[in-house]
Structure 1
Amino acid sequence: MNGDNFMEITVTQAQGLVPISVVTPHGALDASSYKNLIQKGQELHSAGTRYLLLDLSETTFMSSAGVVALHTIALMLRGEELPDSESGWEAYKKIDRDRDTGKQKYLKLLNPTPNVDKILTMTGFKNILEVHNDLEEAVASFDL
Structure 2
Amino acid sequence: MDPLSIAASCLTLITAVGNSTRCITNFVVSCRDARQDLTATSHELSDLDMTLHILKDDTEASGPNHLPEDLRQRICDIMGNCYSVLVELEALLKKYDGAGLDRAARWALSGRKDAEKIRSSIEAHKGALGLVVEATTLQVKFNG
TM norm. shorter chain > 0.5: no
The structure showing larger relative contact order (alpha-carbon pairs under 8 Å, at least 6 residues apart) is 2
Higher strand share: 1
Higher helix share: 2
Structure exhibiting the larger radius of gyration computed from Cα positions: 2
